[in-house]
Structure 1
């Protein structure tokens, strides 16, 4: 490989090491990292390219290594330093003593990851190669694209492989390395088609042409045109390489010797010599280009990666806070934990009914519901009064004929007055009960919502709270309904303080006089005009008092029982739950899915914190 100057090495290596460290921490689960993914059709020469770059033999023949992603981390060492290798997978790390052992170690890793040699796995094998003859570069080798399933493979093996490849190449920070043999029509290769699907403008794609020694005579100029970016243009262009052939593999020709033979091949080739002169040929030039591409990509991405890590940390911490701390294992501490959880919930329940700030959970606005429902009740009273006033004119004469005794005209028949008032008040009773039930349902829903947000991870505690809320609300609704009906029975007594009634009657008379001035005539063509008009004044005056009583008393009864009493009783009964020895462990059993989510968030938070430390040390 060509020697990079020390200043360049000092700049490149830390950047690549940083991204490798972030990837090894698993940060790629949380945000996209700069990477180079290598894809190619079967028999494209992909493995040969990776071998040429790394200087080690990889599993061949059955294509075992391509059954899962392989992260190939190459680190350039100084001349004279010993070769070093390491393979990591499933939490296992093994040092590799010599380049000759790499292939066998990879086979062993695959045997543990993909138990069936014909299956595909998304688990990553990380292979680290440190040598004076490798570039500073990290590549992710993906399974070769296959079209036909071999014996024992699932019929959809091709689609499984494509799904895995798309997962990597769809990431916007991934450079796609498409390996294509020179002896096929590049436009027909599945690998290039997949790259074009996710990178329409070819911004992230680099083409590598292999097997130039197998090109049919007469097609060399086409290959040159492809490499010069004249056929299917890619922003990053193309490179052409000649790697070990089957003959050289059998003879175990060394990689340094292969590099020299490749150089000689391009220098002497009639058509491809120009590509060599232009810097588009050989594995050496490819390594330099890829190292520059990756290091530049990392440098330009780092500021945004830092921002994303901080953003993700903030989001993760906020999510974790919603889950709270785990219950202690110590019994005494566990009880204190339960008491604290229940106390916070019951205090929030009381705060909910008084309109104060809640300590935990999203705040359901109960008072907006109350205002809306009580507003509907007042509107109903007003509309009922308006309809009643209009109906009096038509019905008062009928009641006068039915109930008037020996009174002379001008005298008020109390029976007529009382019957009409009672009938109107009775019509208001059921709407009041409906209003009570609607508010009861809304408050019950708010309490349940509060319980679910307060006891997020504890389904048994939520279940217990819901049962208590249901029982309490049923009892209080029954009590409140009984009190409402009693209120209506009292209103049917048709009684009022003299001064209050006189004041209402005077107001009704003033309104009648104003109507006269405006040309309105409430009662027309009646012989007993004075009597009927007087009765209507009294009925309207009393209904005004009764409706005012109901407008005030009904909401008061509902608010007292459904809000105040329910919260107090809920507090009393939930605190009693904390004293029940046998239920304590059951109540604090955590929801499995939520517990798993919490564990995952803790892992994510730890990864991101370690990533922040890595960035700070760069």
Structure 2
């Protein structure tokens, strides 16, 4: 027993039941999202609700019979129901607002989405809820467009709601929230299509024909499908206020003239609806099939794996094998759904062919559950009427919970589309003065953005990558400077020792030089300086590319998408300006390289002196020869010093072995001429870098040291002046003079007439934005009254 101050002592099973029962009192509203198979839990607990709103418990023998009364005063209950039904009415108006505007709904509105395979009985479930035959039927895909079905409860002329006469003096609470009661002269049931405003369909077979006609208007008479919905509103005293979206039935194999990818098309359409977090999924499954193979439940579990927003409907209960039932499924012991399952019995094909009335089918359904051994004690939680009430309760609760988020999203969407419309601007007219101002403003904004992009002062600086002037700086200090720094005059045998010897010989003319020839050094270093011109000109090209990159980024602005012809003109003028600026820039860069090559300033303060160069050259020779000497004369304890040289003998050897100035030319060549006999020189004479004398080696190495020293000076100079030249003649020139060029080329009447023609996409987008703003503003007005 559980004791409570207000209720006294209550059996524990009834106390726990109070957490499950949906109280009518507005002060205590249990979430239907937590109501898992509520009817069957109540029945399993031995609890049956009475018609008066009292729940009786048939507990164990040692527990007294108790009654828990949860009804509220009629006036409070009626007001609460009116308020709740008004919520669905508001959501219906929101759906209509976007549908009327002809735009897709940007707001995720709460709605019940009906899915299932073609043979699951979806259409019969919906017709039973409405109580009318109004949906197209036939072989193959019948529902080829989403059908947004809005059911509006409306009392009849007798003051009846749902076909039940109200007690005298009692108001039709839930009905009046949707529509005023009908008078005796008015029709009581009719349908209205959103695309046919004001036209009432009292003959429900005509509703079926209109659905078929409107579908064919959109997708033709073949078996194609379309995601564009048909909105249908039905007023009746025999329905509960409810909104559902009926989608095409799932199929796997195309039949007849159905598209080959029909399964994917239908699946994509269904996923578009059920992936939205505010969609309640009504998964219809035939009870005489394996629940694990249910197409509807499979898709529902893809987007709702925990079954939090899926309710199952089990059809064809009466067609199950004898001795079988769905009690385990209803109790959540097979595939659990938080919203539970509801079993229903639909009309069979024979009933449809014989025109069996739905009212008779509902009566047969009630009798089936009341007389079936497995369902008789739970009959009040089975069948179409309970399903309608269940869906009504779930939808109301869901709307109430999502209302704050809907309000926020409407406000955000309105702000977003208003900003976009402002960017698109007003439609262009024929006023030349206004068009001149438009062109002038575009030119001014463009050049301002171009400058800020180069200077790095743009208001929308990128945080994920380098852009604008930062990329130009990268070209200067990383790409260009790095390339110049790595240039080596002696790499890849650009200058070989034999070349140095040849130039030394040639530059000395007919008189052998006593010292290192300056002319040979200058010839060699000039050749290397000229190699710096190509990377310098390449740097100009890279900076030009970066300026074009900045241009393309600016041309992605909405104003240029709005005027594609003007965008093309801007591109041509600006790129032409860049190309014209590249010409003097290239000349200036080439002149700097030529200037360095044409005058070798050996008096430069950073240039190495000849004495120091010779010293470094000798050190390099010694370092290079040291390993050879170490191998020839390895250190040892018994090593004897060389014997003293005879001066006369050395002088004699010198006279016999002296190679002379041209010794390097014939080095390594075998001399076969006899003594005193001279031979003519070879046709081609080449200096050799092998077997050079000590003097020749020192001269060659000294030249290399001098070249390297001066080349490094020139590289530093070029790495400094080339970026400055490019900035002067290309970058800064573009910043300062580009606006003048644009005004001269584009501020003309012929440009106004041609360049300010808006793209078709811009015109369509402006219209769409206006429609969306209108729909959102209307939605704000609707939601503000809740």
Smaller-chain TM-score range?
0.7 to 0.9
| 8 Å Cα contact 1:47-1:58 kept in structure 2 | no
1:203-236 Cα distance to aligned partner (Å, 9 max, x none): 4332333455x446723x4244444444444332
Q: Which residue of 2 aligns with 1:432?
A: 536
2:394 to 293, 298, 314: 293
CA distance in 1, matches of 2:321, 2:499: 112
Aligned to 1:461: 566
> How far, CA to CA, are the matches of 2:705 and 2:250 in structure 1?
94
Instruction: Identify which range, 608-617 or 441-450, moves more after superposition.
Output: 608-617
Tell me how far apart the structure 2 counterparts of residues 332 and 397 of structure 1 sit (CA, whole Å): 77
Structure 2 residue 129 is the aligned partner of structure 1 residue 129: no
Cα shift readout 1:85-132 (whole Å, capped 9, x = no counterpart) = 45234x4323426xx423313422431332445543333222223344
2:82 is aligned to 10
Q: Could you tell me whether the CA contact under 8 Å between 1:443 and 1:562 is conserved in 2?
A: no
In structure 2, the CA distance between the partners of 1:522 and 1:301, relative to structure 1 (3 Å rule), is same
Q: Is the 8 A contact 1:203 1:235 kept in 2?
A: yes
Determine the C-alpha separation between the residues in 2 that align with 1:247 and 1:406.
125
Greater mean deviation of Cα atoms: 233-242 or 374-383: 374-383
* Deviations 1:178-220 (CA, angstroms, capped at 9, x unpaired): 33455566555544454455544444332333455x446723x
Deviation of residue 321 (structure 1)? Answer: 6.1
Deviates more, 1:182-191 or 1:5-14: 182-191
- In 2, are the aligned partners of 1:208 and 1:239 still within 8 Å (CA)? yes
Pair 1:92-2:193 in alignment: no
Q: 1:206 to 1:555 in 2, by over 3 A?
A: closer
1:391-415: CA deviations, max 9, x gaps? 7998766544433479998877443
Counterpart Cα distance in 1 of 2:320 and 2:480: 91
Q: Which residues in structure 2 correspond to 1:137-176 (within 5 Å)?
A: 137-145=242-250, 160-176=265-281
Tell me the secondary structure at the aligned position of residue 283 of structure 2.
Answer: strand
Structure 1 CA distance for aligned equivalents of residues 593 and 500 of structure 2: 23
SS at match of 1:114: helix
Deviates most, 288-297 or 105-114: 105-114
1:179 alignment partner, one of 281, 284, 287: 284
Question: Aligned runs of 1:389-468 on 2, under 5 Å?
Answer: 399-404=503-508, 413-453=517-557, 455-468=560-573
2:449 aligned partner: 348
Q: Distance in 1 between matches of 2:300 and 2:564?
A: 47
Q: Summarize the Cα distance change of 1:473–1:42 in structure 2 as closer, same or farther, 3 Å threshold.
A: closer
Instruction: Name which one, 1 or 2, has greater alpha-carbon Rg.
Output: 2
Give the distance between the partners of 2:189 and 2:454, measured in 1 at CA.
Answer: 69
Preserved contact between residue 149 and residue 232 of structure 2 (Cα < 8 Å): yes
1:590 matched residue in structure 2: 758
In structure 2, what is the equivalent of residue 75 of structure 1? 152
How far has the Cα of 1:467 moved from its partner?
A: 2.0
Q: Relative to structure 1, is the Cα distance of residues 420 and 300 closer, same or farther in structure 2, using a 3 angstrom cutoff? A: same
Q: CA deviation at 1:24?
A: 2.3
Name stretches of at least 5 consecutive residues in structure 2 with no aligned partner: 1-50, 54-73, 161-180, 183-187, 626-692
Name the SS for the 1:171 alignment partner: coil
Q: Name the residue aligned to 1:481.
A: 586
CA distance in 1, matches of 2:256, 2:501: 100
Match of 2:385 in 1: 284
Q: Distance in 2 between matches of 1:107 and 1:203?
A: 37
Distance, in Å, in 2 between the alignment partners of 1:519 and 1:147 is 84
More helix by share: 1
Q: Is the 1:393–1:523 Cα contact (8 Å) retained in structure 2?
A: no
> Is the 2:136–2:211 contact (alpha carbons within 8 Å) kept by the matching residues of 1?
no
- d(CA) in 2 for partners of 1:391, 1:573: 48
Pairing partner for 2:129 from 48, 53, 68: 53
- Tell me the secondary structure at the aligned position of residue 592 of structure 2: helix
Distance 1:113 1:526, change over 3 A: same
What residue in structure 2 maps to residue 36 of structure 1?
A: 112
Indicate conservation of the 8 Å contact 1:180/1:210, yes or no. yes
Tell me if the contact between 1:12 and 1:136 (Cα under 8 Å) persists in the aligned partners.
Answer: no
Distance in 2 (alpha carbons) for counterparts of 1:371 and 1:269: 83
Provide the residue aligned with 1:372 in structure 2: 475
User: TM-score, structure 1 length as denominator?
Assistant: 0.80
- SS of equivalent residue, structure 2 residue 758: coil
Mapping 1:492-531, distance limit 5 Å? 492-494=597-599, 501=603, 503-505=605-607, 526-527=694-695
Change (3 A) 1:545 1:132: same
- State the number of aligned residues: 605
Tell me the residue number matched to 1:339: 440
Q: Answer yes or no: is the 8 Å Cα contact 1:370–1:439 preserved in 2.
A: no
Change (3 A) 1:186 1:481: closer
Does structure 2 retain, via aligned residues, the 8 Å contact 1:238–1:280? Answer: no
User: Equivalents in 1 of 2:331, 2:301: separation in Å?
Assistant: 18
Aligned equivalent of 2:204: 102
Give 3-state SS (helix, strand or coil) of 1:222's partner: coil
In the aligned structure 2, how far is the partner of 1:188 from the partner of 1:378? 68
Q: 1:554 aligns with which of 699, 719, 722?
A: 722
Residue 598 of structure 2: SS of its match in structure 1?
Answer: coil
1:47-79 Cα deviation digits (max 9, x unpaired): 343233334431454489734322221233453
In 2, distance between residues paired with 1:48 and 1:235?
Answer: 24
Residue 11 (structure 1) shift: 4.0
**1:290-349 deviations in Å (ceiling 9; x for gaps):** 111112222333344445445555655665566555434433212211221122213333
Aligned to 2:97: 25
Q: Quick check: 2:450–2:550 contact (8 Å CA) kept in 1?
A: no
Distance in 1 between residues matched to 2:371 and 2:709, nearest whole Å: 117
Structure 1 unmatched ranges of 5 or more: none
Give the drift of 1:567. 4.3
Q: Distance in 1 between matches of 2:703 and 2:259?
A: 93
- Is the CA contact 2:489–2:528 (under 8 Å) kept in the aligned structure 1? no
TM-score by length of 2: 0.65
**Contact preservation (8 Å) 1:468, 1:570:** no
Contact residue 563 and residue 759 of structure 2 kept, 8 A: yes
